[in-house]
Amino acid sequence: MPYVTTEDGGRIFYKDWGDGGSPVVLSHGWPLDADAWDAAALFLAEHGHRVVAHDRRGHGRSTQTWHGNEMDTYADDLATLVETLDLRDVTLVGHSTGGGEIVRYVGRHGTGRVARLVLVSAVPPFMLRTDDNPEGLPVEVFDQIRAGELADRAQLYRDLADGPFFGHNRNNDVDQGFRDAFWLQGMTTGHRGAYECIAAFSATDFRDDLAAVDVPTLVIHGDDDQIVPFEVGGKRSAELVDGARLVVYEGSPHALPDTDRARLHTDLLDFVDP
């Protein structure tokens, strides 16, 4: 299996699909891995793109490092991947926590190798409610997730999959396979990495990173997202990136790469191939 090695010796697993064409890098959400992007990766590769999807450190097949389970290191790992593979004119696509990863990458490493940015149900600009971020969610929301991770992570992932992640608690209409895949990917993620990543996606302030974005940006968000509410995530991110295009999926939940595949694939391809 292909890996790149980070400065601290961590090994980041990646998939590299397609025969060439402009590169697209897909960053996954919590507590998942690159498999969460398989459908989109196959679609984009079949439409002429080189598609790279990696497992964030601590997740999937990458090293379960004790340290570095925070956004700065995630972004630096992404830079190692992009530079090792010598990717240029890249479209960075991030779902949920992956959206934070690619935005922090821009904040730390700039857009010299980046052509476009896509945020899908993404955690920026800042999920946690603070004095200067009153629109955020209270810390108790994330403390409850942390408590579930420590007490019975297998049940936590089952409850998320059967409930708000896919919006299955609305209509009980999400395929069992999607929910099982979420659970399976979550259980391959390291316990410490998964626990620390909760703070990474909830308490990292990406507002300055968004201000540094100077490439065409597409923001896609469902307005029934129960994980990253639209008003907390996509709506505000689009307001903070000059010239960003906002696409709202009416009635859609958090898990757009699964629940809204056909529409998302079309929107991604239209944006990557203007």
Note if 96 is an active site residue: yes
Note if 252 is an active site residue: no
- Point out the catalytic residue in the list 35, 209, 225, 267: 225
In 3D, which of 140, 141, 65, 72 has the Cα closest to residue 108? 72
Burial state string for 44-80 with b = 16 or more CB within 10 A and e = fewer than 16 = bbeeebbbbbbbbbbbbbbbbbeebbbbebbbbbbbb
Note if 225 is an active site residue: yes
Q: CA-to-CA distance for 209 and 207, rounded, in angstroms?
A: 5
Q: Do 118 and 110 form a contact (C-beta atoms < 8 A)?
A: no
Burial class (CB in 10 A: 0-12, 13-18, 19+), 85: middle
- Point out the catalytic residue in the list 28, 209, 254, 258: 254
- Point out the catalytic residue in the list 96, 121, 202, 237: 96
Rg of the chain (C-alpha set): 17
Q: Could you give the residue numbers annotated as active site?
A: 96, 225, 254
